[in-house]
Amino acid sequence: CTPYWPEFRKIDFLRAIRTYESREESWRRTRAQRALTLVRALGSTELDEARSVVDRLREHLPSSELDDVDGVVERENAESSAD
């Protein structure tokens, strides 16, 4: 009888799970950095659109990246109100 699933050790299985989780977290971090770069690139002229992008991405950002985005948005708000 041909096995449908290859045999592997428990340690290999756990290592594969850790690798997957690491890749997923890396992907989230990269996505958050892209969103932050987008917000910075748009500047104050398109700040309202940038805010809407941040609001849409906010639910998908890891908390560490969310703090960075919030800091940038607050600085942009301060700069736009100073003008």
**The total number of residues written for the chain in this structure:** 83
The answer to the question of residue 20 being in a domain is yes
The answer to the question of residue 31 being in a domain is yes
Contact 57, 70 (CB under 8 A): no
Q: Angle at the Cα of 29 (from 72 to 38), degrees rounded to 5?
A: 40
Domain count, the chain: 1
The answer to the question of residue 2 being in a domain is no
Cα 5 from chain centroid? Answer: 34
Residues of the domain holding 30: 10-82
The token pair at 42 is 């748009």
Reported as a pLDDT band with limits 50, 70 and 90, residue 3 is low
Reported as a pLDDT band with limits 50, 70 and 90, residue 2 is low
What's the pLDDT at 15?
Answer: 93
Across the range 18-38, mean pLDDT stands at 87
Of all residues in the chain, the percent with pLDDT exceeding 70 is: 77
Which of 50, 45, 49 lies closest to 72 in space, CA to CA?
50
- Rounded to 5 degrees, what are φ and ψ at 67? -60, -40
- Select, from the ranges 30-34, 46-50, 54-58, 73-77, the one with the highest average predicted confidence (pLDDT): 30-34
